[in-house]
Chains A and B, each alone.
Chain A
Amino acid sequence: MLNLTLLDGQKFQVTIQRLCRQLIENHNDFSETVLIGIQPRGIYLARRVAEELRKILSGKAILQGDLDITFYRDDFRRRDQLMPNQTKIDFIIEGKQVVMMDDVLWTGRTIRAAMDALQAFGRPAKVELLTLVDRRYSRHIPVAADYVGIEVDSIASQKVVVSWKETDGEDKIVLLSEVKE
């Protein structure tokens, strides 16, 4: 296994802050905007972004929820079963601007499922997508992110893993490659 660190430490933090600034450009004071993290790994990104935004906007309330997409996946019965995670959306998304967040955007299938899952909660005015890592040129579905942390060129056998200070000890994005013997 060959590991290549794409982003860590201060650069990681700077990337998060840049994404926050870009969000503020489009969403002003977030009174009509909600952040939705996609389970299981997108929720850490959404939490971090919400936290940074609260700092930047000096304590402004930012609505942030977790969305589980297990029941909306298109590979049910075609792969091993996944355990559903919790969905926690304690606010109304009807008519709101929704920013969906996931750590890695790859085939785009998760995002398709997430858009489907989101419909069960109402009709948002607008849905945007924010991703920390965009694995370019590997989409199976025509999906594009509105806000991108970093872009990565990778092949299908590689894996992109995002670690978070809160749960994994450090902020890091790593590209894992299988080494053939």
Chain B
Amino acid sequence: MAGLSTRHLLGIKDLNREDIELIFETADTFKSVLNRPIKKVPSLRDVTIANIFFENSTRTRLSFELAEKRLSADVVNFAASSSSVSKGETLIDTVNNILAMKVDMVVMRHPYAGAGIFLSKHVKAQIVNAGDGAHEHPTQALLDAFSIREKFGDVAGKKVVIVGDILHSRVALSNILCLKQLGAEVMVCGPTTLIPKYIGTLGVKVENNLIKALNWCDVANMLRIQLERQDIKYFPSLREYTMLYGLNKQILDSLDKEIMVMHPGPINRGVEITSDVADSKQSVILEQVENGVAVRMAVLYLLAGQTQ
């Protein structure tokens, strides 16, 4: 059987449709493993994985760590804030020192776009990108598409709208690339200032009116406003943003069909999405988190299985 076409998972950009389908099929079997009384398989027992996080994370780090542990890999965790990076060590030096301790794979999150790609050219280990700046977050896009596939049976032909801070979102870019690769129709929605100027070249529709976008779609993926990445003010106030682009129960109930509501987390309740929507039966937010472990197990299993 042919494995993945790539040695690292740096972005959805490097994956073809067969790769994504292979990951999904493998994730299906891992999802059934996760529902057994003993949720652990011994596949990666001779693999050591370092989780290197230069940026804060709850879901992604825990999800990767659980995925690694359920595959029986040895795991070391590293948070930049409590390390020698603050003493002036470079990225390559830091990683090479970790690799000198015989680590096979690196899962990295970094605030700068392309950090994973840069690292993959300079170190021997296999790299999994867990988010690089505003560039890509491939495993999030894979688990989002996996959740859509689970709900509708297929991603092809589905209409997905991504709402919010498209400009600063790595989730948005990875999602667009992944959904397009699988044959879905994608629309982005938000204030003009938060939508990249040439996003249309990726083959997505652009809409500034939330109600129109929601009436068009089958799935709405609500993104957080990434205040920590915003250097200038892109809109007058959060309150105004919520009035125009926040999803509430009233809007949801006014639509003529039941759309699926997604959110990659962390949720800012009352900003991009109200509590009653986040906790409604149309929301699959916690299913996304559950699927995240299975999808990450599939990615790690498929990458680690490549013969050296």
Contacts and interface: CB of A to CB of B under 8 A. Distances in A.
Nearest to B1: A83
Interface string A80-94: 111111110000000
A83 B43 contact: no
A76 B38 contact: no
Interface in A52-85: 68, 70-73, 76-85
B85 to A, nearest CB: 31
19 contacts: A71-B41, A71-B43, A72-B41, A73-B43, A77-B46, A77-B305, A81-B3, A81-B305, A81-B306, A82-B1, A83-B1, A84-B26, A84-B29, A85-B29, A86-B32, A87-B32, A120-B33, A120-B38, A121-B38
Interface string A101-124: 000000000000000100111100
Nearest to A71: B41
Contacts, number: 57
Give the size range of B's interface with the partner: 20 to 34
Interface of A: 68, 70-73, 76-87, 116, 119-122
Interface string B280-305: 00000000000000000000011011
Given A70-B29, A119-B38, A120-B33, 18 more contacts: A71-B43, A76-B304, A77-B47, A77-B304, A77-B305, A81-B1, A81-B305, A83-B1, A83-B26, A84-B29, A86-B29, A86-B32, A116-B42, A120-B37, A120-B38, A120-B41, A121-B36, A121-B38
- A interface SS class: loop
B301 to A, nearest CB: 8
Given A71-B42, A120-B36, A122-B37, A81 B29 contact: no
Given A121-B37, A122-B37, A80 B307 contact: yes
A77 B302 CA distance: 10
Contacts of B93: none
A95 to B, nearest CB: 14
A68 B29 contact: yes
Contacts of A87: 29, 32-33
Nearest to A120: B38
Contact of A80 (B1, B37, B40, B302): B1
B308 A71 contact: no
A72 B42 contact: yes
